[in-house]
Amino acid sequence: MANKEASVAELTEKFESSNAVMLTEYRGLTVAQLKQLRVSISEHATYAVVKNTLTKIAANNAGITSFDVDLAGPSAIAFVHGDTVAVAKALRDFAKANPALVVKSGYFDGNPLTAAEVGKLADLESREVLLAKLAGAFKQSLFGAAYLFNAPLSKAVRTVDALREKQDSAN
């Protein structure tokens, strides 16, 4: 009994400390395939095979009830501590190569996600790409602003030069 309580407490802590959680069914995957999946997401998440009843209790303790229906069959959870989009992409790509992996649902930013919504999350660009695009947009707007500020100055300088030339030619 104490062992189960310790497992529930550990799972509850994982639910509470994760950026996102993705529930999968791994029926039909080999141990080697599971290891490969763990390695592919290890930078951003931990992937754990879980007992459904204990996981349901732990999720409920953490205020997550959306997994109650999906916790059936052999379940494993990706507890995301890094880039949620990268983990969703890795799970999607792994599931394409290994159809035995099924993403059932998820929980992100205080909201339950369906399997389709986890798929949409995987379609987003990674944080690094979005930051690079944002930096590019800032850089472009700075160049535009610099051009805008320099344009009136250069026009004024040309006007003053033209006036000087006109005055010099008049003398």
* 96-114: pLDDT as tens digits: 999 999 999 999 988 888 8
pTM over the 0.75 mark:
no
Residue 152 has pLDDT above 70, yes or no: no
Beta bridge partners of 76: 24, 49
Answer yes or no: do 14 and 88 share one domain.
yes
Residues 54 and 73 in one domain: yes
The pLDDT score that the predictor gives to residue 130 is 67
* Domains contained in the chain, number: 2
Dihedral sign from CA coordinates of 118, 67, 84, 37: negative
For residue 23, CA distances in Å to 41, 92, 108, 146 come to: 14, 12, 11, 50
**Burial state string for 125-150 with b = 16 or more CB within 10 A and e = fewer than 16:** eeeeeeeeeeeeeeeeeeeeeeeeee
Reported as a single tens digit per residue, the pLDDT across 37-75 is: 999 999 999 999 999 999 999 999 999 988 888 998 999
Residue 126: pLDDT band (50, 70, 90) is: low
Among 49, 58, 54, which Cα is nearest to 17's? 58
Q: Are residues 100 and 168 both part of a single domain?
A: no
Is residue 36 a contact partner of residue 100, using CB atoms and an 8 Å limit?
no
- Specify the pLDDT at position 106: 92
Number of H helices, E strands in the chain: 6, 5
- Of 85, 109, 124, the residue at which a domain comes to its end is 124
CATH number at residue 10: 3.30.70.1730
Residues 103 and 158 in one domain: no
Question: Could you list the residue range(s) of the whole structural domain that residue 147 is in?
Answer: 126-171
My answer on whether 143 and 88 are in the same domain is no
Is the domain of 137 the same as that of 162?
yes
In this structure, the answer to whether residues 84 and 8 fall within a common structural domain is yes
User: Are 10 and 51 part of one and the same domain?
Assistant: yes
Asked if pLDDT for residue 150 goes beyond 90, the answer is: no
pLDDT for the residue 134:
75
Name the helix (H) or strand (E) containing 21: strand 20-25
What sign does the dihedral 163-164-167-170 (CA atoms) show? negative
Same domain for 75 and 22, yes or no, is yes
Together in a domain, 119 and 148: no
Same domain, yes or no: 120 and 132:
no
pLDDT above 80 (res 140): no
Whether residues 119 and 141 fall in one domain: no
Q: Give the per-residue pLDDT at 148.
A: 61
Please determine, for residue 158, whether its predicted confidence score (pLDDT) is greater than 80. no
Q: DSSP state, 50? A: E
